[in-house]
Amino acid sequence: MANKIQAWAAYGPKIELANPMTKEEIIENIVAATNQSKGSVLAVLSELDVQTEAGLKAGRIVQLPNRTHYEPIGKSDGSVKIGVRVSPELEKKVNTSFRGVWKNRENAGKTEAEMIELWNQDHPEDLIDD
């Protein structure tokens, strides 16, 4: 017997990830946008990493000017996980004009019962009891 998680995994809306932006592409774009040299862009990004690491190691939240921030989170096993929160403005801009590809977009907003119904229609031999 199938379970609800299988239905959501099969029919739930999700973004089909495109090719990642490479570090070279990001550097080239920043160089073109700022008219800075590749070396100076690399130096600033490298120093940003150093300062972020130093702040996190000291147990501090690191806030960037664009309102993105990094937060050290203590785990029960004594390790540290790093939480990242992007700026609300960035999230809003991405949502407003997202151009990526959705898989199963037509299923956005469907209820659990509707997802189970989709699964059961396509898998009569492996029904989900709701």
**pLDDT tens digits, one per residue of 42-67:** 999 999 999 999 999 999 999 999 99
For residues 80 and 61, give the distance between their C-alpha atoms in angstroms, rounded to a whole number: 13
User: What SS3 state is found at 9?
Assistant: helix
Whether the predicted pLDDT of 70 surpasses 90:
yes
- Whether the full predicted model's pTM is greater than 0.85, yes or no, is no
> How does pLDDT run across 15-34, given as a tens digit for each residue?
999 999 999 999 999 999 99
Q: How much of the chain, in percent, has pLDDT values that exceed 70? A: 99
Average pLDDT, the chain: 95
Which pLDDT score, from 0 to 100, does residue 120 have?
94
Q: Are 84 and 62 in contact (CB under 8 A)?
A: no
Q: Which residues contact 106 (CB under 8 A, 6 or more apart)?
A: 13
Which pLDDT score, from 0 to 100, does residue 1 have?
78
Give 2's pLDDT tier (boundaries 50, 70, 90).
Answer: confident
